[in-house]
Amino acid sequence: MATVAPQSDPQVKNPTGKTTIPESESRVPICDWTEKAEIKLRRKIDFTVLPILMLGLFALQLDRGNVGYAMTTSFTDDLGITKDIVNYGNQLMLAAVVIFEIPFNMVLSRIGPALWLIIQVFAWGTIATAQAAIHNKSGFYATRFLLGMWEAGYLAAALTIIASFYTRKEMALRATLVYVGNYGSAGVSGLLAGLIFRIPETSGLKRWQWLFLIDGLFTILVGVVFIFIMPRSTTDTLPLAGIKKFNVFTDKERDILAKRVILDDPRKSVKLSGISPMTALRICLTNFPMWGHFSINAVNITPKGGLVFYTPTIIKNLGFTASTASFLSAVHNFGVCILSIFVSWVSDKTLLRGPICLLSGVYSLVFSGVQYAVVGSSDVWMKYAILTLLNSGVAIAQALNDAWFSINTHDPQIRCIGIALAVTGSNVGGLAGQNIFQESDAPYYPKGFLKILCLYAGSIVLIAGMILYYWNDNRKMKMAGELEDADDAEASNGVQGKRVLNQL
């Protein structure tokens, strides 16, 4: 906490309720609030902005992943398709995410992440609902592509908002909590699917149609919540609906919001501006760290890409019914929530990013090895337990990796494009993961689990490489006298040419 200065009111208020910081104080503002006031404000952000972003990702995963549960019903027979065609459809969806991720982040840099998120939620919610009406392969392919297209950029926009509302030491846990919306959705989706599948088909719709319809309508409802609650920015906290009574932040709290992240990291005084195609290309071609984080996500998420869709089927192949398999496959998602929150909390407390990512990779490597070893066992419940423990560790390094890049990146344009690229890496991994499990390898998929073992070994090597890169960069900064400790940033007034120590 910075030293409290005498009370002053540097903010400028205008009729729209926005708070602006005078140019003379835009680099390093004065801390004119108490620690108690900042704690109260942080809790308010935790109970408004953070839950909304979690809810959006919850809906995204609900609509993206429910096809895995649909596969345990008559879905493929009703559409006249095979499970391999379902794989191709999911690959098409993820390909759309990869194609539109960076272009859509260029759009959000111009219109603002809050408005862009609302447009996205309504768009993909409508498409997700329309999936209940598909009746052939063409309709399946079309809706999967459109769903992926409109989901592209959501996570990067959410992480951009998190970076603007929270300080560096708060980032990892909050970024992980956003991801918990994803993990929790996967768990609830299984429970919800199990309940929906008990609806008799004499109701007029197939079980998979009810699944798509209910999940899609829920997403549209989430879009309505965004309109009435989501703040436009840290300086203009009025929700997009424009209703003042839904603005939970006071003038003083807006002032603190606009200043506290800059006091934590003076580099954030530079605001995000519109990103042109040439600027995006230049950033992609000249920034090495973003490609390192892209690679970590791509390799680390590939196993999840296969497991997320095939876990219900793998469990069903152990001898369970479709409904029971849906319930059992939901359990590991709550394990992911617990593990991811714990490791991100440790990361924020220790300020260790890479080493915690590395330990997460070791966890996954160990249990993927055990899973491969027991794949031929006849003990059904032991195989289920190992599979659940393996699934509980998938992707827990993803949020840490994204936060690690965001924390160590000073330029908002590089941060915006880099987060988009990291998310693209996750989707590239998810896309590649669709090919891990093949029908020829059924019902226990030993070759698939061997691939997963090798992938986690590779992810450990990549994470170790990024730790070494940041350590070497810090060493070079110290030798060149370029280093500025963030704790001394206010006193130094954000001297041009100085850099903040990378967090390992």
CB 401 within 8 A of CB 300: yes
pLDDT of residue 269: 59
Cα angle 498-163-151, degrees, rounded to a multiple of 5: 135
pLDDT of residue 483: 65
Burial (CB count <10 Å: 0-12, 13-18, 19+), residue 495: exposed
CB 503 within 8 A of CB 404: yes
Question: What digits encode the pLDDT tens for the residues 137-165?
Answer: 999 999 999 999 999 989 888 988 998 89
Global pTM value: 0.77
Q: Rounded to an integer, what distance in angstroms lies between the CA atom of residue 22 and that of residue 156? A: 29
Residue 327 structure tokens: 């319930």
- 192 compared with 63, residue with greater pLDDT: 63
pLDDT surpassing 70 at residue 20: no
Question: What digits encode the pLDDT tens for the residues 112-145?
Answer: 888 999 999 999 999 999 999 999 999 999 999 9
Q: Cα(first)–Cα(last) distance of the chain, in Å?
A: 22
CB 185 within 8 A of CB 12: no
Residue 343 structure tokens: 């490791």
Residue-range domains of the chain with CATH: 33-492 (1.20.1250.20)
Residue 324 structure tokens: 């029971």
Question: What digits encode the pLDDT tens for the residues 208-248?
Answer: 999 999 999 999 999 999 999 999 888 888 898 888 888 98
pLDDT of residue 29: 64
The mean pLDDT value for 338-343 works out to 92
Three-class SS string for 82-128?
Answer: CHHHHHHHHHHHHHHHHHHHHHHHHHHHHHCHHHHHHHHHHHHHHHH
pLDDT surpassing 70 at residue 46: yes
Residue 405 structure tokens: 């890049």
Q: Which among 221-235, 395-409, 458-472 has the top mean pLDDT?
A: 458-472
pLDDT surpassing 90 at residue 275: no
pLDDT surpassing 70 at residue 484: no
